[in-house]
Amino acid sequence: MQLVFASNNPNKIKEIQLLLPNTLQILSLEDVGCLEEIPETAPTIEGNAIQKANYITEKYGYPCFADDTGLEVEALNGEPGVYSARYAGEQKNADDNMAKLLHNLSNKTNRKAQFKTVICLNLNGNQHLFEGIIKGEIIPEKRGSAGFGYDPIFVPTGYDKTFAEMPIGEKSKISHRGLAVEKLIAFLTH
């Protein structure tokens, strides 16, 4: 089975392809000729995942799944949330985003946070949502060089390493995206 994954993020595509059985082949947006920016204008993480999947299904006619992920920090009323990628501006720079987040948390003692991924699957005329959440906390300084996004400052509950200090295989097993993808795979392989 071929499914389009509505993402131009090579890190995400690689992470998800590693989790999928060989019977499922992931096509990138480039593979289907989608070179334009897909709108992400919904006010929620769920809404963005749905918007991206619908865009590909409606415009290109492929079965498709799309994800959206946000980091939700308790002391900041759930920020950056749906704005995680562009928290420090439209340049979508991970270092700028982490710097802004650490600055906004500098006088807070509560550092609890969670990563939330929602996957929207459009298949055979039906739409399905899968959610993955991992709780943890934001540490005051970056550690590790693997991963992407906020990984260097997020330590999942029960671990002493940031996502950026974990090998991709370990991170994928416990991460928000990994949990959502597990639910997607269970659905697709039944």
Annotation marks residue 68 as catalytic: yes
Mean pLDDT for each 10-residue chunk of the chain (190 residues)?
86 77 86 91 96 96 94 97 93 94 96 97 97 97 92 97 92 90 88
From residue 23, alpha-carbon distances to 26, 41, 114, 121 in Å are 10, 33, 32, 17
pLDDT at 178: 87
Catalytic residue, candidates 31, 67, 68, 160: 68
Distance (Å, whole) CA 137 – CA 145: 18
pLDDT at 144: 96
pLDDT at 126: 97
58 exposed, middle or buried (CB, 10 Å; 0-12, 13-18, 19+)? Answer: exposed
